[in-house]
Amino acid sequence: MAEVKLMKGNEAFAEAAIRVGSDAYFGYPITPQSEVIEYLMTEQPHMRTGMVVLQAESEVAAINMVYGAAGAGKKVLTSSSSPGISLKLEGISYMAGAELPAVILNVVRGGPGLGTIQPSQADYFQAVKGGGHGDYKMLVLAPSSVQEMADFVEDAFDVAFRYRNPVMILSDGVIGQMMEKVVFKPQQDRWTEEEIIKMNGSWATTGKTADRERNIITSLNMRSDAMEIHNHKLQAKYKLMEENEVRFEEFMCDDAEYIMVAYGSSARIAQKTLDIARSKGIKVGLLRPITLFPYPTKKIQEYVNNGVKGFLSVEMSAGQMVEDVRLAVNGKAEVEHYGRNGGIVPSPTEVLNALETQIIK
């Protein structure tokens, strides 16, 4: 039975994690996402579903716990905020190399360094361009509501297991901390050992039975020729994601002369800007990428081909996603960035002003 609750984005993520039948969560406290582990510890999911929740000694340990559980074919999650995600990147790179499915939430705060505890979107590059070492990609989902903080858990596991690849939910301090109405789907059962062996038995370390060869989880290959082949396989997988997994939302783009591109909480601000601009007669639209990798490049190219004159990338960063907009536009229209840094959330009128001065002119 669906249930409606009022809760924080972080709590919605945690509740959804239990409801999708996750096997384990490993985390470490950091503001502004500590509610995730606090909620899980309070809810005692081991009583509800048998789900394991463990507070690790560090983000580094937590992501390697995720590696271990994912390698056993289990549904496993972790969450952190920017500095903690930096620590997790080594493990994420190993997971991408070893092709392990898992869900990682980043509730982004202002950086660099210890930065602030206020919301930011300055981890875009880190999330969509790889972040850790080596040629790898994560599929990145960007929620812009508490509802999506819950819904994307199931979506993320779905693609993570389909591609055997880590998936990041790239949120921010606004979405993690704000309270909204959220509708939950009914509780799903955790996978049984038989189901795990049936689905993931070809690779997961569930114990070497007499009927099969041993399973090995590793990202190492001592031979460069074999490593290149492995890289080609990974790249083919990312290409498949680009073909099949792009998600976005459009607002009033049909007749738009100008388009704002914004994700997460910036998309909510840009929506308000859109209302004001439209009431002033400005023909502007809003594209909200839901997947940041793969990126809605083709959609942006369509806009260009349909005569859109300019794009404004609105991000709480010094301008990161704007590079992907520029790559898509490829010099055929004006592309500008507007953003605030360090934990400052821009207002809709600020964004409108940027639109009028930087793009429309």
Partner 1 sequence: MDLKDIIKPENLVYTKTKNMTDKELSYCPGCGHGTAHMITMEAVEELGITEKTIGVAPVGCSVLAYEFMNVDMQQAAHGRAPAVATALSRVMPEKVIFTYQGDGDLAAIGTAETIHACNRGENIVIIFVNNGIYGMTGGQMAPTTLMGMKSSTSPYGRTAEQNGNPLKMTELVAQLEGTYNVSRHSVHTFKNVKKAKKAIKKAFQDAMDKKGTQFVEIVSNCNSGWKMSPVKSNEWMEEHMFAYYPLGQIKKDGVLVNNSNQN
Q: Which residues of 263-273 are buried (b: 16+ CB within 10 A; e: fewer)?
A: bbbbbbbbbeb
| By the rule CB under 8 A, 102 interacts with partner 1 | no
Task: Assign 253 to helix, strand or coil.
Answer: coil
Q: Which residue has the tokens 């114990």?
A: 207
| By the rule CB under 8 A, 210 interacts with partner 1 | yes
Give the up-direction half-sphere exposure of residue 107: CA atoms within 13 A in the CB hemisphere.
Answer: 33
DSSP bridge pairs for 140: 168, 293
| By the rule CB under 8 A, 47 interacts with partner 1 | no
Q: How far is the CB of 318 from partner 1 (least distance, A)?
A: 31
| C-alpha torsion 25→28→31→34, nearest 10 | 40
Contact indicator for 241, 163 with CB cutoff of 8 Å: yes
Closest CA to 138 of 58, 191, 78: 78
Q: Taking phi first (over 0 means left), then psi (-120 to 50 degrees means alpha), and beta for anything else, what does residue 319 get?
A: left
Interface segment toward partner 1; rule CB under 8 A; list 140-148, 165-173, 199-207, 275-283? 199-207
Q: Return the number of the residue (62 or 170) whose C-beta is nearest partner 1.
A: 62
| By the rule CB under 8 A, 58 interacts with partner 1 | yes
108, 127, 217, 290: residue in contact with partner 1 (rule CB under 8 A)? 217
17, 20, 30, 76: residue in contact with partner 1 (rule CB under 8 A)? 76
38, 87, 90, 185: residue in contact with partner 1 (rule CB under 8 A)? 90
- Distance of alpha carbon 290 from alpha carbon 295, whole angstroms: 8
26, 157, 303, 311: residue in contact with partner 1 (rule CB under 8 A)? 26
219, 231, 297, 301: residue in contact with partner 1 (rule CB under 8 A)? 219
147, 206, 231, 358: residue in contact with partner 1 (rule CB under 8 A)? 206
Q: How far is the CB of 138 from partner 1 (least distance, A)?
A: 17
- Distance of alpha carbon 105 from alpha carbon 28, whole angstroms: 12
| By the rule CB under 8 A, 229 interacts with partner 1 | no
| By the rule CB under 8 A, 260 interacts with partner 1 | no
Task: Assign 327 to helix, strand or coil.
Answer: helix
| x-or-dash string of contact with partner 1, 309-348, rule CB under 8 A | ----------------------------------------
Binding site for partner 1 (CB under 8 A): 23-24, 26, 52, 54, 56-58, 60-62, 64-69, 71-72, 74, 76, 90-91, 94, 98, 205-210, 214-220, 222
